[in-house]
Structure 1
């Protein structure tokens, strides 16, 4: 029986991987999820005691507060870079497999089209720099680790951006949403299925991108959410990124190419709009 060990199991992705109906659970695999309170990936001793030979470790642990990272830099690097590298070193020494989750924020957002895995990285905020440092640390400590970049994760109306948006619309509030940031909204269920396929692949890509197919601006994504929830789309108003005084800059283009995924014979993720419909149907807003 193969043990799938999930770090950061209380987050959006980690919680779905460890859920009772997760595709990671089958006759040959068992799943163990550990949140930050159960396993601190910056603690070498704890990692050594927890990880065993043969484990498949999926690292969902991350410092994900993009704006806060601008001032909480040490903490962001401790988790996203040092912790990721320490986890990779432990997995290498224990002969465990590692799948490390990264982000499109390693890019600057200035490209005219989707980013390939070979595209030059140039993060424009502290969070992105810490995640890129984490990728480098993982690769240095464990050359055979798998690094998967994704973007705009959501789980329907259960939590996160969709839940916050429909809550405001339900109260009749007008909501400004940026129209000049584009990415591929990615349904956690589809990403988990994709990762499950990845870990069973005989020759998986060491660096790949996994997002829902297609792309949309944040405003287009918001409009689709509101339509699915049955609220008035006129409550939404488009705005520019510069209209917000955010501590961290965001890449305008965070669309990731899935060429490396497809080239290795892996199944492309469904289109984001279809995925959103399924997500909102599975977690209807009340």
Structure 2
């Protein structure tokens, strides 16, 4: 089996490139020189030309704050291009897995968000990602939209690497304690995407069993950003103290969800994929970075 992946340098795209061969799946990643998401036609052309059995879109405009001032540009990357990719998949009969976000919700208090919960993005990033979901689902392709949250790994720029960098020069770091979600290892997202893509490609993914459409995937247990930061410091053996602050103490151009908890039960029912233990993943990642 071969999978075409939009994205190359992002956390999930890197994890897909690493995980695929171990599962006997050839993974071809596309960087901006080969498929620029600011050019929907180029993205569609990449699908038209591929010999892959399935497509995964792991690329996006993820600069949440910058999207507030550049929503039109973010919309092209997060909505127009995913729609073009999915329509090209439909024309070729290829399944597509599209990664989305908890930012499509309003972040209000309540239980974990289910896939069918009413959406209500608070800002430009969420609006453009929701538009992308709808474009993919309306394309006619056999498609799964996989919403996730709080992605981390040991490379590049993530919350984890930022905390470790700050711990090198600071005795204390203030971290928001009134936002709750499930930290999600990039490697676990990659494994979930490959499992879904393989099932859809071999024809065993069935809409009548709820295996297409929208699903959620995030790590367990749910925690605050501050508690996640504490776990990072303890696991890495850092002495930096995490100080709880509120969202109001750390204003940003884009509003962040207070409730990023995702109900992932539909994914377990459809594919047998369970929420990953982010604490175990954190330990493994830090051990790997030390070797």
Alignment TM-score, normalising by the size of structure 1: 0.92
1:218 equivalent among 209, 212, 225: 225
Residue 114 of structure 2 corresponds to which residue in structure 1? 116
Asked if structure 2 preserves the Cα contact closer than 8 Å seen for 1:81 and 1:131, the reply is yes
2:235 equivalent among 224, 228, 231: 228
Unpaired runs of 5+ residues, structure 2, are 206-210
What do residues 23-63 of structure 1 show as CA deviations (whole Å, max 9, x unaligned)?
45544x31110112221233314532554365311001100
Deviation at 1:172, TM superposition (A): 2.9
Counterpart secondary structure, 2:261 = coil
CA distance in structure 2 between the aligned counterparts of 1:255 and 1:66, rounded to whole angstroms: 18
Aligned CA-pair RMSD: 1.9
Residue 196 of structure 1 corresponds to which residue in structure 2? 194
* CA gap 1:178/1:12 in 2 versus in 1, 3 angstroms: same
1:33 equivalent among 23, 29, 32: 29
Counterpart secondary structure, 1:10 = coil
1:103 equivalent among 78, 98, 101: 101
Deviation at 1:269, TM superposition (A): 2.8
CA distance in structure 1 between the aligned counterparts of 2:167 and 2:273, rounded to whole angstroms: 36
Deviation at 1:127, TM superposition (A): 0.1
Asked if structure 1 preserves the Cα contact closer than 8 Å seen for 2:137 and 2:213, the reply is no
Unpaired runs of 5+ residues, structure 1, are none
Asked if structure 2 preserves the Cα contact closer than 8 Å seen for 1:84 and 1:134, the reply is yes
Asked if structure 2 preserves the Cα contact closer than 8 Å seen for 1:53 and 1:96, the reply is no
Residue 161 of structure 1 corresponds to which residue in structure 2? 159
1:207 equivalent among 197, 214, 220: 214
Deviation at 1:86, TM superposition (A): 0.8
CA distance in structure 2 between the aligned counterparts of 1:39 and 1:160, rounded to whole angstroms: 24
Q: How many correspondences in the alignment?
A: 280
CA distance in structure 1 between the aligned counterparts of 2:42 and 2:167, rounded to whole angstroms: 47
Residue 269 of structure 2 corresponds to which residue in structure 1? 263
* CA gap 1:50/1:120 in 2 versus in 1, 3 angstroms: closer
